[in-house]
Amino acid sequence: MDFAPDPSTRDLTDRARAFIADQVLPAEPELDEQLAADPGRWGRPPVIQDLQVRAREAGLWNLFLPGEHGAGLSQLQYAPIAELTGHSPQLAPVAMNCAAPDTGNMELLAEFGTPAQRERWLNPLLEAQIRSSFCMTEPGVASSDATQIGTRIRRDGDDWVISGRKWWSTGAMSPDARLLIVMGITDPDAARHRQQSMILVPRETEGVHIVRPLTVFGYDDREHGGHAEIAFDEVRVPADAILGGPGEGFAIAQARLGPGRIHHCMRSLGTAERALDLARERAADRSAFGRTLSERGVVREWVAGARIQIEALRLLVFKTAWLMDTVGNKAAMTEIQAIKIAVPRAVQEILDRVIQIFGAAGVSQDVPLAGLWAGIRTLRLADGPDEVHLSSLGRAEFRRSSAL
Amino acid sequence: MDFAPDPSTRDLTDRARAFIADQVLPAEPELDEQLAADPGRWGRPPVIQDLQVRAREAGLWNLFLPGEHGAGLSQLQYAPIAELTGHSPQLAPVAMNCAAPDTGNMELLAEFGTPAQRERWLNPLLEAQIRSSFCMTEPGVASSDATQIGTRIRRDGDDWVISGRKWWSTGAMSPDARLLIVMGITDPDAARHRQQSMILVPRETEGVHIVRPLTVFGYDDREHGGHAEIAFDEVRVPADAILGGPGEGFAIAQARLGPGRIHHCMRSLGTAERALDLARERAADRSAFGRTLSERGVVREWVAGARIQIEALRLLVFKTAWLMDTVGNKAAMTEIQAIKIAVPRAVQEILDRVIQIFGAAGVSQDVPLAGLWAGIRTLRLADGPDEVHLSSLGRAEFRRSSAL
Amino acid sequence: MDFAPDPSTRDLTDRARAFIADQVLPAEPELDEQLAADPGRWGRPPVIQDLQVRAREAGLWNLFLPGEHGAGLSQLQYAPIAELTGHSPQLAPVAMNCAAPDTGNMELLAEFGTPAQRERWLNPLLEAQIRSSFCMTEPGVASSDATQIGTRIRRDGDDWVISGRKWWSTGAMSPDARLLIVMGITDPDAARHRQQSMILVPRETEGVHIVRPLTVFGYDDREHGGHAEIAFDEVRVPADAILGGPGEGFAIAQARLGPGRIHHCMRSLGTAERALDLARERAADRSAFGRTLSERGVVREWVAGARIQIEALRLLVFKTAWLMDTVGNKAAMTEIQAIKIAVPRAVQEILDRVIQIFGAAGVSQDVPLAGLWAGIRTLRLADGPDEVHLSSLGRAEFRRSSAL
Amino acid sequence: MDFAPDPSTRDLTDRARAFIADQVLPAEPELDEQLAADPGRWGRPPVIQDLQVRAREAGLWNLFLPGEHGAGLSQLQYAPIAELTGHSPQLAPVAMNCAAPDTGNMELLAEFGTPAQRERWLNPLLEAQIRSSFCMTEPGVASSDATQIGTRIRRDGDDWVISGRKWWSTGAMSPDARLLIVMGITDPDAARHRQQSMILVPRETEGVHIVRPLTVFGYDDREHGGHAEIAFDEVRVPADAILGGPGEGFAIAQARLGPGRIHHCMRSLGTAERALDLARERAADRSAFGRTLSERGVVREWVAGARIQIEALRLLVFKTAWLMDTVGNKAAMTEIQAIKIAVPRAVQEILDRVIQIFGAAGVSQDVPLAGLWAGIRTLRLADGPDEVHLSSLGRAEFRRSSAL
């Protein structure tokens, strides 16, 4: 057992740290201004395009993607870098072309796409020429239960025809999101996890109706293309638009979830560190009733508790990454579920307390805390609510054998 | 000791219940539409004006105000009605002219205003012809420590001249907010709590600059006139614009806080009940993995815990109201602090869990939960953060004598 | 609604307060000495006999028992007195002949006993000449599920014959516990809640084997007769030894539980107050790193939180008592469950924190905290574990109608 | 970074696992019987002597001690073995001669002892011929503040003369505890952390009075020699009985604390695993209201939460061990504090919940849970209460630089 990062990881991490500290954080106010100046715009603001050029020059590009198509890092090597991007989740991941949902979509295309699919969709995504959305969640059903999916995909001659309604299609409000990956039922009579298929749908296809944007605690997340409700009304695409094959949708979705979840956790830890940075700044320049905030016992307990949680959970995230690298995503399922539950909860609480340290400013647009909080809060629901994972983990625990 | 409400309270509560159930809740979608249709508007939407007419006809008007100027209810009599308004905090309080910050401002005018001040400001507020804002909190200082107030009010001939900057002036984005009650330092050399004075400033006075709106977790609270940052740049008002007298600002502010805090608590409990109503609706029509939500042990524990907290805290709120009625606001300070801390914490947690029950819909604009959450979260900071009150309560506890 | 106690309750409470402060608390060290001096003794120590004489003289006797046989107080009138006895749960309740399990047993005899049963058992219990035990819980089964009871009671001629094994028969290690009230199955084929009957068994009956004492976190609770495991081996009693009639055991047990649970809650709140008294004493004479304990923000938050919880839960206990007095135990079931869950949890946490304030002394025999903690911890399991009640409350909540 | 243990650690861990599973756990009932059979005995019960012979034969001896005098394992290598001993903390550590307080005392003698001191005390300790106690904590003062120590050690000719009173001298009730290591003030005028010295005192020295045993939640911990209060009444030892030199007591105590704390954490995690083993056994054979315990959602959440906490905290313990091995105890101080706080808290909660799963049996002598709980609870006070460490960690956090 050894807790020291390897030299190349350390070097790349240092470069990412410098880029984020020197280029990304200072650009945050610019983003706010550009968003405020252009209220109706859902597409990529200029500041993001700018940062993407610079990140690419700095060799900080597509680091999330293992294998030949990406930077070739292991999950364990990517972990500390992903964490750093969580300091500025609106800007850093997208600047380095490591932002959800594109990351997961690129993984799918790299792993399950045909050469033609990769050519058409993966390459421009790797170049950040386009963005993409993943259309899985549906209104009106418990989406964590895949058998409840209502979208139907039927074969009609040489075409697939899609009918249904999706929401929480992140990014899809943006015209840049040229690709929609849509999950639906191709065979309702098949076995529980063989009913679903996944189709690559160009955004401009007839019958694709972007219905409306959804908000997250009052935020529209415009800089990322928001979250769309989309109606698919007899949307027709050619037979080769299927990813993998018929009935493979559930398995493909599962493959997507492992890396997606751990990446969320990595970034979330960086968000927690950002909150502590803000707490330190605040505590240094604010006193009440004759004492600075950092001298108050209650505040000290908060930040101490935050530090303990971050340190312990970061190690669990690292170990999970190591397991994914060494024994595979499936064998790491218990650990993936564990961090999926524990990290957002811990970070939500840390943000809540730092907001409390900031007073009313903490809930406003003047500090990034409230926005960060809303993003983290949503993670407790995305990709399955905590309770589904806790129940699954608990069931597994009762089947586990003794450590002795 | 007797826990049964008196008949007239019961009757008035029943009428308020009917009004809110039959008129207010059904109007919520209308409010959303009117706000969406008129994005730049900060003033009172038509639906509110409408409801105000109907509430007044139903005899549900100014119920918050004890004494001759208001409906003459005691705090204990008002409590269950205020709670009901918390089911729809955007609409019900304002419909019944019982919305903060006007309530506190009317209390001050009724108690400390001269006949002329009451004539000019209290009467139109009681008629809902105008609204008002309370300008106390300042950017850059710990506002819970009144000695840190930076706004200066100096005497210049027959005038008061105000210079300073306020923020979180709730309602002040609206042109309806014709009156600003401004707290500032008139005598920095006086004793700690005799330095402050309070001035009645007409919104249109020269030198009053509404700088910008503040957001709360992404919400602008437009239907209530938002929260403004305001610069007071050598704002000149006549000598008789002072409320009470020079040096009485702190005492007046304290007088305002007691009722303000308990009203927030009453409404918050109603908000918690609303959340449980929503949970019941959701649980009835949603199942996953073969069981409805209401059959899940974890969900049952949540709602059971919510019920226990609501029942216990409601009684503490009632007792606090009874103390305010019988021994006065000052003697009820410990209880006021206790509910100020405990109620928003409990309700925040209840809302968080009901959001979790709703899944992604819970954070969106489709259900009121996220907006309600943002409002409750802010109460943990408004009128002093929890920690200030906990510290004060703890100090008092160490001075308390044994119950034995 | 009125939160002031009536004058006679106030007077009786004052007398109980004086008795406990002046007579009971000072006797605690005496109890410790007598227990230490006579390690094998399970019977009533002399100090208890002594206090019983004095309590009776002071008119503080059998106050728990409503109706003609007892002092005739309502639950609401008894509540503040019961709370005060919780300051010294080893001594005060028994001194005033208000200690479990005798209280519940006397209630049963008063309500369901025949005149002959009352003559034989109730009278000496009311005089504290004897004590008693309630034999319901069994090893090896989930006792909260009454259908799992293994003890069998069969009719044989003019006798009942009991076979089975009980444990957690509180008090039964003491030879004073002359009466055992035993719950068993008389008719396994009857409806779920008509299978059980309750029999009055004299301790000296042949076939009654006191197997062993059970410990609670290392404590044997000797001063109260401990907790016994008892084997009933073909124990034969005459037909008139049945309480109520055959098949009424479950209903009788339910009747016993309501008052039993609320009395536990009342006393627990007194225990919490005792803990705060101890915290105050400790904080006054102990400092570390240059500050007293009461100046530490974290400690202040703890005691503030304790105060809030105590005040809110006390009101809920009072309201529950009022409901039991006005609408009956059955209609108060939701509230009884609520306090049964919430009070021990809160008091356990309060004790845990005061132990922390005391440092290592807090877990030792030198301060009563650890012993009090063990008693309170057990309440979360006695009369059904929290989880059973939470699940039941949660189910009820989903059937509740809106507060609106 | 690599999370796989090295082969020799894995092998040794496997052997320890087999020993504990096959020899130690089955001996637990024997220990209970021997303790019950000989109530006054504080010395080593025969079952422990027996297990020590077998552990030594199995090569599982003194594994805690790095360097030439012990088994030479690093902290990281010892960690998984220490954890396994926590499954049976009454028997396994002592069986393998890895039990506190001897472990810490042996470390001190190995590091700071003269050859003569090592010959006289370390060798018989390494052979388990004698045991020892560490006398630091004092009644009546906040022992976490070393300047408050009241014990005085004065030089008188060629002797040191010790006067003072200690308590919580673990193990010292046993006649086997031949060595007492006593901390006292030799120079009250020296700098804050140069006032203290440490003296090796044979138990039989004149003036050493073993005053009484202390209990921990009703437990006397007899199998380990209990916890003694000791009066030192002009206790005279020769000059060479000092450990290190005059004024080095504080530094030596600090050196002792690092390994002591991490060993407690390692074992505590094993205790948590034991609790989960018990939960699994219980859940398999117990049902209520028609469902087994392992099917209940609430119980599943509990064990899932336990699993997450154990996995995350174990990694933090491992990393701390690695830091102690690679950069030293002092540089690992933040991590040592972090685990010292977090592990006992988590394990206390896990035990509390498993007790709840067991019902009343859980608090009794029939399952080890209550005893384990009492031991873990005490860790939150031993070597400094949580709050001291949290405050220190919090202060450090405010001085930390950004992760960015």
Residue-wise pLDDT for B135-173, tens only, equals: 999 998 887 777 889 999 999 999 999 999 999 999 999
Q: Select from B341, B387, B404 the Cβ nearest to the Cβ of C20.
A: B404
Residue-wise pLDDT for A106-142, tens only, equals: 999 999 999 999 999 999 999 999 999 999 999 988 8
**pLDDT at position B280, please?**
95
DSSP letter assigned to residue A24: I
Q: Looking at beta carbons, which residues of chain A come within 8 Å of C297? A: 296-298
Largest Cα–Cα separation, chain C:
78
- At C328, the pLDDT band (50, 70, 90 cuts) reads very high
Nearest CA distance, B10 vs chain C (angstrom):
11
> Does residue A225 share a domain with residue A138?
yes
**pLDDT at position B289, please?**
73
> Does residue B387 share a domain with residue B286?
yes
Q: Looking at beta carbons, which residues of chain D come within 8 Å of C370? A: 215-218
Which residue type does C346 have?
Answer: A
DSSP per residue, C4-31: PPPHHHHHHHHHHHHHIIIIIHHHHHHH
Domain stop point among A247, A275, A301: A247
Among B286, B364, B386, pick the best mutation site for testing chain A contact (most A Cβ within 10 A): B364
Q: How many CB atoms lie within 10 A of CB C129?
A: 10
> Does residue A172 share a domain with residue A60?
no
Q: Is the pLDDT of residue D227 over 90?
A: yes
**pLDDT at position C293, please?**
87
> Does residue A172 share a domain with residue A288?
no
> Does residue B327 share a domain with residue B257?
yes
DSSP per residue, D105-119: HHHHHHHH--HHHII
Nearest CA distance, B299 vs chain D (angstrom):
9
C102 and C93 Cβ atoms separated by less than 8 Å: no
**pLDDT at position B91, please?**
98
Which residue type does C299 have?
Answer: V
Q: Is the pLDDT of residue D292 over 90?
A: no
Q: Looking at beta carbons, which residues of chain C come within 8 Å of A297? A: 296-299
> Does residue D190 share a domain with residue D275?
no
Provide mean pLDDT across the span C274-301. 88
What are A's interface residues with C at a Cβ cutoff of 8 A? Answer: 296-298, 301
> What SS3 state is found at C211?
strand
Residue C352 domain flag:
yes
Among A364, A369, A383, pick the best mutation site for testing chain B contact (most B Cβ within 10 A): A364
Q: Is the pLDDT of residue D370 over 90?
A: yes
Lowest mean pLDDT among B108-112, B173-177, D26-30, D141-145: D141-145
Q: Select from A313, A319, A390 the Cβ nearest to the Cβ of D301.
A: A390
- At B105, the pLDDT band (50, 70, 90 cuts) reads very high
C267 and C197 Cβ atoms separated by less than 8 Å: no
> Does residue A392 share a domain with residue A276?
yes
Interface B-C, measured as beta-carbon pairs within 8 A, has a size of 183
Residue B294 domain flag:
yes
Backbone angles phi, psi at C68, to 5 degrees: -65, -30
Q: Select from C3, C303, C395 the Cβ nearest to the Cβ of B322.
A: C3
- Cross-chain Cβ contact B145/A356 below 8 Å: no
> Does residue A208 share a domain with residue A180?
yes
Residue A288 domain flag:
yes
- At D52, the pLDDT band (50, 70, 90 cuts) reads very high
Q: Residue D153 forms beta bridges with which residues? A: D162
Distance CA D42, CA D60 (A): 25
CA of residue C170 relative to chain centroid, distance: 10
Q: Looking at beta carbons, which residues of chain C come within 8 Å of A302? A: none
Nearest CA distance, C230 vs chain B (angstrom):
34
- Cross-chain Cβ contact A215/B144 below 8 Å: no
Q: Is the pLDDT of residue D297 over 80?
A: yes
Q: Select from D142, D214, D355 the Cβ nearest to the Cβ of C286.
A: D142
Residue B2 domain flag:
no
Residue D1 domain flag:
no
Nearest CA distance, B45 vs chain A (angstrom):
19
What does the mean pLDDT of chain D come to? 95
Residue-wise pLDDT for A325-338, tens only, equals: 999 999 999 999 99
Joined together, the tokens standing for residue D329 give 């105890």
Nearest CA distance, D299 vs chain B (angstrom):
9
**pLDDT at position B285, please?**
75
* Domain tally, chain D: 3
Joined together, the tokens standing for residue B278 give 């929503």
Q: What angle do CA D122, D127, D132 make, to 5 degrees?
A: 55
Residue-wise pLDDT for A210-227, tens only, equals: 999 999 999 999 999 999
CA of residue A317 relative to chain centroid, distance: 15
CATH number of the CATH domain containing C358: 1.20.140.10
What does the mean pLDDT of chain C come to? 95
D329 and D258 Cβ atoms separated by less than 8 Å: yes
Q: Is the pLDDT of residue C173 over 80?
A: yes
CA of residue C10 relative to chain centroid, distance: 24
**pLDDT at position B140, please?**
86
Residue-wise pLDDT for D105-135, tens only, equals: 999 999 999 999 999 999 999 999 999 999 9
Quote the ipTM score.
0.96
Q: Looking at beta carbons, which residues of chain B come within 8 Å of D298? A: 297-298, 301
- Cross-chain Cβ contact A84/D318 below 8 Å: no
Q: Select from D1, D300, D335 the Cβ nearest to the Cβ of A390.
A: D300
Q: Is the pLDDT of residue C144 over 90?
A: no
Provide mean pLDDT across the span B337-364. 97
> What SS3 state is found at B218?
coil
Nearest CA distance, D294 vs chain B (angstrom):
12
Place of tokens 């090569």: D59
Distance CA D255, CA D232 (A): 25
Q: Select from A1, A6, A277 the Cβ nearest to the Cβ of D404.
A: A277
Lowest mean pLDDT among A88-102, A375-389, B168-182, B274-288: B274-288
Domain stop point among B220, B247, B274: B247
What does the mean pLDDT of chain A come to? 95
Distance CA A60, CA A47 (A): 17
Give the range of the structural domain holding residue B383, as residue numbers without chain letter: 250-399
H-state helical runs in C285-363: 297-326, 333-358
**pLDDT at position D287, please?**
77
Among D292, D298, D301, D356, pick the best mutation site for testing chain B contact (most B Cβ within 10 A): D298
**SS (HEC) of A295-331:** HCHHHHHHHHHHHHHHHHHHHHHHHHHHHHHHCCCCC
Q: What residues have CB less than 8 Å from A188, skipping those under 6 apart?
A: A152, A195
DSSP per residue, D85-147: HTTSTTTHHHHTT--TTHHHHHHHHHHH--HHHIIIIIHHHHTTSSEEEEE---TTS-TTSGG
**pLDDT at position B195, please?**
96
What are C's interface residues with A at a Cβ cutoff of 8 A? Answer: 296-299, 301
What residue in D sits closest to C287 (Cα-Cα)?
A: D142
Which residue type does A123 have?
Answer: N
Q: Select from D84, D304, D305 the Cβ nearest to the Cβ of A404.
A: D84
Which residue type does B164 have?
Answer: G
Residue C404 domain flag:
no
Q: Looking at beta carbons, which residues of chain B come within 8 Å of C87? A: 403-404
Lowest mean pLDDT among A15-24, A330-339, C251-260: C251-260
Among A74, A397, A399, pick the best mutation site for testing chain D contact (most D Cβ within 10 A): A397
Q: Residue B202 forms beta bridges with which residues? A: B179
DSSP letter assigned to residue B222: G
Element (H, E) at B266: helix B249-284
DSSP letter assigned to residue A217: T
Provide mean pLDDT across the span B290-316. 94
Among C147, C217, C351, pick the best mutation site for testing chain D contact (most D Cβ within 10 A): C217
- Cross-chain Cβ contact D359/C216 below 8 Å: no
Residue C1 domain flag:
no
Q: Looking at beta carbons, which residues of chain A come within 8 Å of C299? A: 297
Residue C96 domain flag:
yes
- Cross-chain Cβ contact B390/C76 below 8 Å: no
- Cross-chain Cβ contact A17/D404 below 8 Å: yes
Q: Select from C286, C361, C381 the Cβ nearest to the Cβ of D363.
A: C381
Q: Select from B363, B380, B390 the Cβ nearest to the Cβ of A378.
A: B363
Spatial CA neighbour of C380 closest among D293, B309, D363:
D363
> Does residue B283 share a domain with residue B365?
yes
> Does residue D142 share a domain with residue D84?
no
Place of tokens 């870098």: A81
Q: Is the pLDDT of residue D200 over 90?
A: yes
> Does residue D166 share a domain with residue D79?
no
Joined together, the tokens standing for residue B100 give 């903060």
Largest Cα–Cα separation, chain D:
78
Domain stop point among C247, C276, C303: C247
* Predicted structure pTM score: 0.97
CATH number of the CATH domain containing B92: 1.10.540.10
**SS (HEC) of B65-102:** CCCCCCCCCCHHHHHHHHHHHCCCCCCHHHHCCCCCCH
Percent of chain C with pLDDT over 90: 92
Percent of chain A with pLDDT over 90: 92
β-strand D152-156 against D159-170: which pairing, if any?
Answer: antiparallel
**pLDDT at position B358, please?**
95
Provide mean pLDDT across the span B247-268. 93
Among A74, A298, A308, pick the best mutation site for testing chain D contact (most D Cβ within 10 A): A308
Interface A-C, measured as beta-carbon pairs within 8 A, has a size of 9
Backbone angles phi, psi at B167, to 5 degrees: -145, 175
Distance CA C78, CA C242 (A): 30
> Does residue B162 share a domain with residue B32?
no
Q: How many CB atoms lie within 10 A of CB D140?
A: 12
What residue in C sits closest to B403 (Cα-Cα)?
A: C273
Q: Select from D142, D145, D359 the Cβ nearest to the Cβ of C385.
A: D359
Q: Looking at beta carbons, which residues of chain B come within 8 Å of A287? A: 142
Nearest CA distance, C5 vs chain B (angstrom):
5
What residue in A sits closest to D314 (Cα-Cα)?
A: A312
Q: Is the pLDDT of residue D291 over 90?
A: no
- Cross-chain Cβ contact B296/D301 below 8 Å: no
CATH number of the CATH domain containing B155: 2.40.110.10
**pLDDT at position C352, please?**
98
> What SS3 state is found at B185?
strand
